[in-house]
């Protein structure tokens, strides 16, 4: 999902009675406030979450939303679906219809899903260059061996695309279960990596994205439940989130 950003003069012309050419005078007359500070240039960038006030009237007060959800089995990672319940059906939030999913899970995969209305943030989360680790618990139909660990560390070749997966960390927990950490999210990647060994994935559960886990704030997030990410969690994630902090007009920063 693309983030919305524009020059101040274009934004003012679309959202008020003033034209692009009028904006320079408005700035000089100190009639525009952006996030609690007087506007200084018509070339300033206005994002979808910039708090914009013109002559005391608020033109934009959109706020970024960042949620985590513990997705149950049988729920689809989509905003609309004619056959199945969606992740949005599980969420109670006044702005939930603005949200999109950051890193989808398959219908029968469970665990941590992130949702936001901040397109720039979700795009950065998903970029391979960000190298954000995702960790899964996997249950399999056949026994595991150290051969898996070595192969995952080297990367698994996907003949259809002609590519090799990035190195992944596999920790064997028991004969049939493992914990897998990887930094990419190709189509059905986990199932296909184990499919290299003809080993069927029986259950797949995402436990973390970066430093965000289902056990944040001291307790496990219940299946089907959601909550906002804390400022600390957003900070630890290492991907800059949008800010929406501004002073009241009585405390304008000059």
Backbone angles phi, psi at 250, to 5 degrees: -70, -15
At 120, list the tokens. 């720039």
Give the separation between CA 51 and CA 59, rounded to whole angstroms: 8
Q: Are strands 100-102 and 110-116 parallel, antiparallel or unpaired?
A: antiparallel
At 174, list the tokens. 């028991």
Give the separation between CA 132 and CA 13, rounded to whole angstroms: 39
Which positions are catalytic? 106
At 13, list the tokens. 């012309």
Angle (CA) 244-249-254 rounded to 5° is: 85
Cβ pair 72, 105 in contact under 8 A: no
Task: Return the residue matching tokens 């996907």.
Answer: 158
């Amino acid at each position: 999902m693309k983030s919305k950003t524009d020059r101040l003069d274009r934004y003012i012309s679309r959202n008020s009675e003033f034209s692009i050419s009028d904006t320079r005078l408005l700035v000089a007359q100190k009639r525009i406030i952006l996030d609690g500070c007087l506007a200084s240039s018509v070339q300033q960038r206005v994002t979808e979450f910039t708090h914009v006030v013109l002559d005391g009237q608020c033109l934009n007060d959109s706020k970024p939303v960042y949620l985590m959800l513990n997705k149950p089995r049988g729920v689809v990672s989509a905003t609309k679906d004619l056959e199945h319940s969606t992740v949005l059906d599980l969420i109670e939030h006044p702005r939930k219809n603005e949200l999109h999913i950051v890193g989808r899970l398959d219908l029968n995969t469970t665990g941590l899903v992130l949702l936001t209305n901040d397109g720039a943030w979700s795009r950065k989360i998903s970029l391979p260059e960000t190298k954000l680790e995702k960790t899964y618990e996997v249950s399999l139909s056949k026994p595991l061996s150290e051969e898996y660990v070595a192969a995952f560390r080297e990367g698994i070749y996907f003949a259809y695309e002609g590519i090799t997966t990035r190195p992944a960390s596999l920790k064997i927990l028991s004969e049939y279960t493992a914990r897998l950490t990887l930094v990419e999210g190709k189509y059905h990647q986990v199932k296909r990596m184990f499919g290299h060994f003809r080993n069927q994935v029986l259950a797949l559960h995402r436990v973390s994205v970066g430093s965000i886990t289902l056990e944040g704030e001291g307790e496990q997030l219940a299946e089907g439940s959601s909550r906002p990410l804390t400022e600390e969690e957003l900070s630890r994630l290492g991907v800059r989130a949008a800010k929406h902090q501004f002073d009241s007009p009585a405390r304008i920063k000059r």
